[in-house]
């Protein structure tokens, strides 16, 4: 029998309407994700308000403060005690006296604890690499890079490096090499963006006066210059010369300094302060489109890199916790976050630089396998834990104490 009565129709539609109203009401009552307003506004909450035990968080902070790195606070002195002993190890970028142990704990977007001076601007060493790779991700999103599998040589032409004016001795420099062509050799021409991002390129050459072999050189000097090259993608080697090469290649694609790119498309969007600075080297100036530009570095190995506060580091960490989302803006694509946290085949605990993965819980045994960290010398750490909605920034802490800090915070989760 066909139902045509308006009363019958009303009777049938009423439950559907009720379901829709209930769903809308439930959605309205769902807590929205909190994003801090522009610097310096970041809401604080008591640990208990976000499911943490106050006593455990207090213990974690005390642990971080009591495990300061033994490296001197003069980072220039620290350089010449370590990297400065390498071949061609002299500093060519700025160093800055560091501060006391510093950090923040952020749960569900709210600051629940801090120590030291989170507003102090300090070097962050290889956490800078995560900013380098971010500029590559932004270029990919905008179609400036078509695919990460493309050879980088297709995007980078001859680069004119600035040099002092020869004055009246110009003839003495006749025939000197004026351009840098970092991907001209048969081996280097095979290197793709993905290889540089994952530190699997085995690029050969010299950049800014630093040969690739001079970074953490082999104990066998006979291997420094003449050794068999490995096919790109088949081996992992942490190498700051090659990181700086990626930064230079990214600048060539953007045709503007990377700090400008990062500021416009990331740091201003997430409400970071204006106190951070990203430095290159005294000799890393190039001419591009008629302008002089300082190529940024990927860390503080020879000085320079990102100088930033713990609070601004936390904002970047929170952006990666939220998979590139900031309020209603997708700053970094989810696809990029997925790629960045995909293990490198020949180094499973490394994603893109400098996303350290907790694969097999080797990096941080106390943390979930899905957690990751942006890590740099110092130690500087941005710990990101999607499973527990948690970000921890720790600066100038002994590297062996990282898991102790993370484990103490996780032990403070009330539901555990």
pLDDT average per 10 residues of sequence, the chain (416 residues): 47 47 44 91 97 98 98 96 95 98 98 98 98 98 98 97 72 80 97 98 97 92 87 98 98 98 98 98 96 97 98 98 97 98 98 97 97 98 98 98 98 85
Let me know if residue 401 belongs to a domain: yes
Greatest pairwise CA separation for the chain in angstroms: 105
pLDDT at 164: 66
Let me know if residue 415 belongs to a domain: yes
Let me know if residue 31 belongs to a domain: no
Let me know if residue 200 belongs to a domain: no
Let me know if residue 368 belongs to a domain: yes
Give the phi and the psi of residue 219 in degrees, each rounded to 5.
-75, -5
Number of domains within the chain: 1
SS3 192: strand
pLDDT at 11: 45
Q: pTM score, two decimals?
A: 0.91
Query: Helices marked H in 30-119 — which ranges?
Result: 54-65, 75-81
pLDDT at 20: 46
> Strand ranges (DSSP E) for 190-289?
206-207, 210-211, 277-288
* Domain span holding position 378: 37-147+253-416
Let me know if residue 185 belongs to a domain: no
pLDDT at 35: 98
CATH number at residue 86: 3.40.710.10
pLDDT at 166: 61
Nearest of 395, 251, 243 to residue 317 by alpha carbon: 395
Let me know if residue 210 belongs to a domain: no
H helix count then E strand count, the chain: 10, 16
């Amino acid at each position: 029998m066909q139902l045509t009565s308006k009363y019958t129709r009303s009777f049938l539609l009423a439950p559907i309407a009720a379901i829709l109203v209930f769903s809308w009401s439930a959605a309205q009552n769902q807590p929205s994700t909190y994003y801090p307003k522009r610097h310096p506004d970041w809401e604080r909450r008591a640990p208990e308000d976000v499911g943490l035990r106050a006593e455990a968080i207090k213990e974690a902070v005390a642990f971080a403060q009591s495990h300061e790195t033994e490296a001197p606070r003069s980072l220039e002195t620290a350089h010449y005690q370590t990297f400065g002993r390498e071949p061609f190890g002299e500093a060519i970028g700025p160093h800055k006296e560091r501060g006391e142990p510093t950090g923040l704990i952020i749960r569900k977007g709210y600051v629940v604890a801090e120590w030291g001076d989170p507003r102090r601007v300090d070097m962050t060493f290889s956490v800078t690499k995560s900013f380098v790779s971010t500029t590559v991700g932004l270029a990919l999103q905008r179609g400036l890079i078509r695919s990460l599998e493309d050879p980088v040589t297709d995007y980078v032409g001859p680069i004119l490096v600035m040099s002092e004016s020869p004055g009246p001795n110009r003839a003495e420099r006749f025939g000197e090499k004026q351009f840098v062509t970092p991907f001209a050799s048969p081996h280097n021409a095979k290197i793709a963006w993905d290889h540089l991002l994952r530190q699997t390129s085995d690029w050969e050459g010299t950049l800014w006066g630093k040969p690739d072999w001079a970074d953490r050189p082999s104990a066998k000097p006979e291997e420094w210059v003449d050794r068999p090259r490995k096919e790109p993608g088949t081996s992992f080697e942490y190498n700051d010369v090659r990181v700086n090469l990626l930064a230079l290649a990214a600048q060539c694609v953007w045709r503007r300094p990377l700090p400008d790119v990062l500021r416009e498309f990331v740091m201003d969007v997430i409400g970071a302060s204006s106190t951070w600075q990203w430095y290159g080297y005294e000799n890393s100036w190039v001419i591009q489109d008629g302008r002089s530009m300082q190529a940024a570095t990927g860390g503080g190995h020879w000085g320079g890199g990102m100088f930033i506060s713990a609070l601004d580091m936390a904002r970047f960490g929170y952006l990666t916790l939220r998979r590139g989302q900031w309020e209603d803006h997708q700053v970094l694509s989810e696809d990029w976050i997925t790629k960045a946290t995909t293990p490198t085949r020949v180094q499973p605990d490394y994603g893109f630089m400098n996303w350290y993965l907790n694969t097999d819980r080797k990096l941080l045994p106390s943390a979930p396998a899905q957690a990751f960290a942006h890590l740099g010398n110092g130690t500087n750490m941005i710990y990101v834990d999607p499973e527990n909605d948690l970000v921890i920034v720790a600066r100038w802490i002994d590297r062996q104490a990282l898991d102790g800090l993370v484990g103490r915070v996780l032990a403070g989760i009330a539901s555990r």
